[in-house]
Amino acid sequence: MALYSEVVMDHFMNPRNVGIIENADGVGEVGNAKCGDIMKIYLKIENDIIEDVKFETFGCGSAIASSSMATEMIKGKSIENALSLTNKAVAEALEGLPAHKMHCSVLAEEAIKSALKNYYEKNNIPYDKSQFPDCENCAHCHE
């Protein structure tokens, strides 16, 4: 048995949507180098639709695969759709992650939400704060 599923390995070895978007409409970064995973998501948004998405990730194989899969899952979708993306859905699309790697899929969900929050704030759009994780105080990387 390999460590990761074939889908994980495919997204890791051939990650989709790697890179940056200049003048992105929303940018979100979660994690920190101390704990070993950082994900950064760039969004291009038009008429509430995610026209383009790019990511940069510092992290393990499953972190890179989770970023790649999550960006694929929100590309071309509405903001509402992207906001409802859960880490479980990302992990399932990857055909599972080892238990101790589930936090990588959490990071992907949080990175997208953080980029959307940044979009709302930049454009002074009111939003429901409870929809967003409190990354600054999350125990995961700030114990």
Partner 1 sequence: MFVYADNAATTKMSKTAISAMTDYYENIYANPSSLHTAGQQAKEALEDARARVAACLGCEAREIYFTSGGSEADNQAILSAAKLGAMKGKKHIISTAFEHHAVLHTLNKLEKEGYEITLLDVSQGHNVTAGQVAEAIRPDTCLVTCMYANNEIGSVLPVAEIGKVCKEKGVLFHTDAVQAVGHLEIDVKKQNIDMLSLSGHKFHGPKGVGALYVRRGVMLSNLIEGGAQERGKRAGTENIPGIRGLAAALEEACANMEENNKKVVALRDKLIAGLSQIPHSALNGDPVNRLPGNVSFCFEGIEGESLLLMLDALGICASSGSACTSGSLDPSHVLLAIGRVHDVAHGSLRLSVCHYNTEEEIEHILACVPKVVQNLRNMSPVWRDLQTGKREYIL
Q: Which residue numbers are catalytic?
A: 35, 104
Tell me the two tokens of residue 62: 């499953």
CB–CB of 55/27 below 8 Å? no
Least distance (Å) between residue 9 CB and partner 1: 8
Selected range binding partner 1 among 18-26, 44-52, 116-124, 127-135, rule: CB under 8 A: 18-26
CB–CB of 29/121 below 8 Å? no
**Can residue 26 be called a binding residue for partner 1 (CB under 8 A)?**
no
Rounded distance, CA 71 to CA 67, Å? 6
Site for Zn ion in 17-56 (CB under 5 A): 35, 37
Number of residues that bind Zn ion (CB under 5 A): 3
Rounded distance, CA 101 to CA 122, Å? 32
Closest to partner 1 by CB, 10 vs 78, is 10
**Can residue 34 be called a binding residue for partner 1 (CB under 8 A)?**
yes
Among 40, 75, 113, 117, binds partner 1 (CB under 8 A): 40
How many DSSP H helices and E strands does the chain contain?
5, 3
CB–CB of 13/30 below 8 Å? no
Rounded distance, CA 18 to CA 37, Å? 16
Selection from partner 1, Zn ion, none that 76 binds (CB < 5 to 8 A by kind) is none
Site for partner 1 in 94-123 (CB under 8 A): 100-101
Type of residue found at 115 = A
Residues binding Zn ion (CB under 5 A): 35, 37, 141
Residues binding partner 1 (CB under 8 A): 3-4, 9, 12-13, 15, 18-20, 29, 33-40, 55-61, 63-64, 100-101
